[in-house]
Structures are given as C-alpha cells and as structure tokens.
Amino acid sequence: MELYDDFDIKYTSHAYIFLGDKEDITKRAIFLAKRVNCKNEESPCGYCESCRKIQNKTFPDLYEIVPQGASIKIDQVRELIMSFTKKPIEAKKKVYIIHEAQKMTIQAQNAILKSLEEPETQSITILLADNLKQLLKTVVSRCQVFDFSMSKSDGSAIVIETRQMIADILSDLISKKDFFDISGALKQISSIEERPELILEFISSLFRDGLAVKTGSKISIENADFEDIINKIAKTYSIKSMILILDIILKQIKFAKSKGNSSLIWFNTLIELREVI
C-alpha cells in the first residue's frame, strides 16, 4: 500500500486545488487518481492493474493538461469539457489533472466553471497551482483547497493552547482593525515555541475554512472547533481578500522555511491581514 503520512484526507468533492511544489503536488494528484480507482481495499495498493496503468500514464481515464507555451488556452479546456460527457472506459472515476492551473487564461477558467460545479460523469478534477491569486474566485469557490506548501510529515502539531491564542489574536485584529495592538500581538506570538511555518499553516487553514463558509461550499471544515473565528473571518473578509491572504501566507511560509527573520514574518503578516479587511 502506498502512503502519504500527511495526506489522510476524506475526499468528499469532485474538484480540488492542490497548492505547493510542482513535483510534490503532481505526485499527490497521481496518488489520488490511484486511490479512487484502485481495485483493492487498502488503496492505493500500487500493484493492481489500475494503479500500474495510472503510474505508467497508460490509464485511459486519466487526462492531464499542461500549458501550451505560456498559458493553458480555452481550446485545451474545451477538449477536456467534451470528454466530461463520456463515460469512463475502465475507471470508477475519471481523473483530470490540470498542471500549473494558475496559467489558465481567463476565458479557459470561465469555460470550466460549469464542469467544476456539475460534472456530467463520475469524475474528479484536480487543479495544481503555486498560488490562488491568479485563479478566479469563482473557480476557487467550487474546489476543495489543500495547501501542501509545507511538509507535515514530521508529525508536528500545534497544541490547542497555541491555536486558541492565534485565534484570539485574529479575532482581536478583526474587531479592532486600526486600533489593533500589533506590538502586543508580536510579543504574544514571539513567546510561542512552535516553528513559524506551523503557525502560518494553521492561520491559512482558518482562512480556507472561512472561504468555504463564505462560498457556501459543502466541503468539510478543517477546524470545526474554531467555529467562532471562522465565521468572523467569513463575515469580515471578501472572497477576493481571503484568496489574497492565502497567497500572502503562502509566501510567508516559504520565507519561514528559508529561515527568514521571524519577527519580520509576523509583522508583515499581521499588517497585511489588517490592511485587506
């Protein structure tokens, strides 16, 4: 059985956005294609006919789109949409992987909207991207978003007390906005012993949940025990602002992983969270 230790996800959607390193999220997309089409109970097994065909790119119900030149063009997406109407040849579910989805033209993104919302056959569409900012908010709102920009394979987890502190700081920031005590918040965060990228990922997950609530998505909420701050985020920030924030946090995670100055990371993060309200 093939495993991703940090990839224990209950798949409830037919459309996903995977964020992160190109090679990593490509492997995860292939992993998901195997998982939903594996012929054995412990999926993906890696050795059944479906798993082997998917790995070797000979599976007839696996479709992949890559940019032609600098972009993914509307004609490419139209071909994909046409295949949506056809039943699978071998698969339980057809799988469509759109590489570098942020390079889809606006016309291409608009063209795929209906298929993301109401696929005509049993299928899964996975958009691979390095940021959300270049994707239309209507596209993002129809997908379940997973941010794999930071590895969680070391088993690290943020304790509940730290998560509550971060939730309280965000709540205070939203409520007070221009009167928010940034220096006080920086002192609180500086006292946390967790790695900055772990805390940033938690903040990102709260905004992903807020986006799901804002758009009325049926996907499961990751932080159901923080319903108050999630609802506050959804009520305060626009969809466009939340997508911008997710991109901002992704950049700060990359900065944190490169051992950037943590004080500067937190100052920039809090300032930008306040400014986009």
Section 6-17 average pLDDT: 66
Query: pTM for this structure?
Result: 0.67
For the chain, what are the domain ranges? 15-147, 160-275
The per-residue pLDDT for 78 is: 94
User: Using CA atoms, how far apart are residues 35 and 46, in angstroms rounded to an integer?
Assistant: 9
1.20.272.10, 2.30.110.10, 1.10.8.350, 2.40.50.100: CATH of 160-275? 1.20.272.10
SS3 124: strand
User: Using CA atoms, how far apart are residues 63 and 171, in angstroms rounded to an integer?
Assistant: 43
Section 200-216 average pLDDT: 90
3, pLDDT greater than 50? no
User: Using CA atoms, how far apart are residues 58 and 98, in angstroms rounded to an integer?
Assistant: 17
CB-side neighbour CA atoms (13 Å) of 105 = 14
3.40.50.720, 3.40.920.10, 3.20.20.70, 3.40.50.300: CATH of 15-147? 3.40.50.300
- Token look-up 């109407």 returns 85
Residue 219 carries which side chain, given as an amino acid letter? I
101, pLDDT greater than 80? yes
User: Using CA atoms, how far apart are residues 91 and 35, in angstroms rounded to an integer?
Assistant: 11
Count of Cβ atoms closer than 10 Å to residue 264 Cβ: 11
User: Using CA atoms, how far apart are residues 201 and 253, in angstroms rounded to an integer?
Assistant: 7
Mean of per-residue pLDDT scores for the chain: 87
CB-side neighbour CA atoms (13 Å) of 94 = 19
Give Cβ neighbours of residue 156 (< 8 Å, ≥ 6 apart).
Answer: 194, 195, 198
pLDDT per position as a tens digit, 113-170: 988 887 777 899 999 998 888 899 889 888 888 877 755 444 346 888 899 999 999 9
Q: Which of the 8 DSSP states describes residue 69?
A: T
